[in-house]
Structure 1
Amino acid sequence: MEDKKLTHLTTSGVHMVEVGDKPEVRRTAIARGRITLQNDTIKFIEKGEVKKGNVLTTAQIAAIQAVKNTPQMIPLCHTIPISGVEVEFKVTDNHIEALVSVSSTGKTGVEMEAITGVSVGLLTIWDMVKSVEKDEHGQYPSTSISDIEVIKKEKIELD
């Protein structure tokens, strides 16, 4: 195994890694995650009966906003030019899977933007349905967010 080192650490603390000398590359990252919900909650979402509004459209907008604002949330992320964001949801009987694809042409990757988009999209779903997910004690015994991961990272050299 090759020697790996933490690139953001210095003898005096931390720093933002210099990427200025790196070539511009077309970059894409795809991340996914899931929120587990009660079957009745899924039905409310599918029928458009959630009082706060259209859950999945709102979560798409939240995910896109999160992608665009990742450097403001993750301290050492570079501000990069986002050229595209796609947000999709796959709904099953007991969970919703979020899939976020982010593209950029730049000097550093977009994986943090993709997983931030997934995370905030799923959090938005939870926020919109929390009134029906709560039990009689105000707790969330069956609600969870899990399996957030980068499933694809791609770099394409520019001509």
Structure 2
Amino acid sequence: MNIYDIEVVLEDGEKYTLDRYRGKTLLIVNTASKCGFTGQFEDLQKLHEKYQDEGLVILGFLSNQFNQEVDTADEAAAVCRQTYGVNFPMHEIVQVNGPEAHPLFKLLTKEAKGTLGNKVKWNFTKFIVNKEGEVIKRFAPTNKPLEFAEEIKQYL
């Protein structure tokens, strides 16, 4: 499966395929609004503001896989937007591990294995996808987004 064939759903229910971002560099993040790493939204927003004109697209995917999310995508996205000023695309609540994992996260974890192999260790695991749609690298939840900004720049 090609990443651009995968269908995703924004927090407001709009469905689309990732083909919308063909030719862009993607930073895909599984997020949660009640996680100890939630402060990373600030750094993600800074990256978004600094590099969006150069072709970086940050995509947040809400997940309650680790029981750190509010009840609905609307509520969670509101927390992200109101508390952290997030204005990059946020998506519906998805599973990131197991048989019910969203196809996007099945692909990401297959292509960029982590400490737990094909599993996402925790919220705020981050994946870089280059302009050709190839999954390049995974960053752990503890890796703060601004720490690897220079690495992202090489894919823009």
> What TM bracket, shorter-length normalisation?
under 0.3
Higher gyration radius (CA): 1
**TM-score, length-scaled by structure 2:** 0.23
**TM-score, length-scaled by structure 1:** 0.23
Greater share of residues in strand: 1
Identify the structure with bigger relative contact order (alpha carbons < 8 Å, sequence gap 6+). 1
